[in-house]
Amino acid sequence: RAEQAARYDAFFEGTVDPDRLTARVPVASEAAAYLSDPHSSPDPDDCAPAAPSGERRAGLVSLVGAGPGDAGLLTIRGRQRLLRADAVVYDRLAATALPTDLPARVELHCVGKQANRHPVPQEEISALLLRLARGGKRVVRLKGGDPFVFGRGGEEAEHLARAGIRFEIVPGVTAGVAVPAYAGVPVTHRREAARVSFLTAHEATKSSGSRQRWDLLAADRHATIVGYMGVTVLGQVVEHLLAAGMDPATPSVMVHQGTTSRQQVVRSPVAGLPDAVARANLTPPGLFVIGPTVRHAEHLDWFGTRPLMGERLVLVAPAGGLGEELDLLGAELVEVPLPMTPAPRVVIDALPVTGCVFRSVEEVDAMDEERDRAAWDPGVVAWCRDDRVAERARELGWRSVEVFDTAESLLAAPPSGCAAKLLSDNRTRC
């Protein structure tokens, strides 16, 4: 009986996720291992030949594209890899895509730029990936957008290959397509744009040896130019294009923190775009688009005109139908489990929070401990489902408390200070 209990424990530990209360069916090799070895705990992802006796087999590194910021744009495979990971190495701009139901056991390693801290050098990131993989861990390297589009994913994959570490690439939605779409700009159009050029704008700062053909870009009237990392060097880019003969009236747009609740859009003829961006006080990250299809944004701005645009709301999982309604109205939702674990804290801190939705007194009590985090502004609104919940929020010192009945009820109240400013800024035009 003791042997049977040990086999059952091994089976349970290998196939059941106690954090998410999900289970999977073991493959044949796993089932055989459970039956033959009462103390086995096989790795379900282990498809490689067994390592020599006494030698730990290296793990797998998945280079996963997180998408441009909207957590909903993370791919299904990317989410699967994250939920099965032992360690996640993520960039700052990829933080919003971390699943908030990531098990607490997962190691989180931030290697992106933070306040008063320089980015981790690429050499150190590569060394970290090797160390984690050589320890037998399943590792996710979570990168903003797509790993192979201006993300140094190729460099990291080559480093892993040279070291003999197993790796895979999980493509992501690149900002060069998604961000323009969230600003109402189709990067191609049957009657206007037959080509798209993705470029890294920092090439404009090179005094010699630039790899950009400004002459060809400026002369192509049937193409869309999409520039990554372009806020600080926008003036030089426009100067090169105008000097090469581009029409100064060519439509253009700069999008700041596209696909998120912080998205801001500035549209202008290309000659005036640098000054318009400066007046709007836009800072990185940002992406610019230059070309004839930008003019369509005037009537295709589906994202920035939604009624709850600018609101970033925290609510306790499961959000259910209320969460779906809020999402359709334009709010960015951060759905968190209780008790709180490290991953949702990272997601919450990635961007400012404008409100917290409470459906019970217990939720108010649980979330009150989180209000001292950097993303929580003193003006964050406590949206409460009834008077009893609202009373508890006031007792705990929430400055702004509103009672709501349905998702549409949030439309009747004025937006929070943070969201109100963003709504004004988001409609900057020139």
List of long-range contacts for 18-25, beta carbons under 8 Å, 24+ apart: 19/101, 19/103, 19/104, 19/105, 20/83, 20/101, 20/103
What would the pLDDT profile of 37-85 be if each residue is shown by its tens digit? 444 444 433 333 334 444 567 799 999 999 999 999 999 999 999 999 9
pLDDT number for residue 295: 96
At 170, which helix (H) or strand (E)? strand 166-170
CA distance 125 to 24: 33
| Percentage with pLDDT > 90 across the chain | 70
Which amino acid is it at 51? A
pLDDT number for residue 11: 64
What would the pLDDT profile of 245-300 be if each residue is shown by its tens digit? 999 999 999 999 999 999 999 999 999 999 999 999 999 999 999 999 999 999 99
Evaluate whether 390 touches 359 at the Cβ level (below 8 Å).
no
Q: Which residues are designated catalytic?
A: 91, 113
Evaluate whether 94 touches 147 at the Cβ level (below 8 Å).
no
On the question of pLDDT at 109 being above 90, the answer is: yes
CA distance 324 to 333: 9
Positive or negative: CA dihedral 119, 125, 127, 128: positive
Q: In what order do the strands lie in the sheet with 400-403?
A: 332-336, 312-316, 353-358, 376-384, 400-403
Q: What angle do CA 159, 165, 169 make, to 5 degrees?
A: 75
Other CB atoms within a 10 A radius of the CB of residue 297 amount to 21
Residue 111 per-residue DSSP state: -
What is the token pair recorded at 66? 């997180």
What would the pLDDT profile of 165-221 be if each residue is shown by its tens digit? 999 999 999 999 999 999 999 999 998 999 999 998 877 777 666 788 899 999 999
What would the pLDDT profile of 121-179 be if each residue is shown by its tens digit? 889 999 999 999 999 999 999 999 999 999 899 999 999 999 999 999 999 999 999 99
pLDDT number for residue 48: 38
Q: What angle do CA 182, 183, 188 make, to 5 degrees?
A: 85
How far is CA 410 from each of CA 24, 146, 366, rounded to the nearest angstrom? 40, 35, 22
CA distance 65 to 176: 13
pLDDT number for residue 2: 58
CA distance 142 to 172: 10
Phi first, then psi: give them for residue 390, nearest 5 degrees. -65, -40
Average pLDDT of the segment spanning 13-34: 50
On the question of pLDDT at 420 being above 90, the answer is: no
Q: Which residue in this structure is represented by tokens 């005037």?
A: 298
| Percentage with pLDDT > 70 across the chain | 80
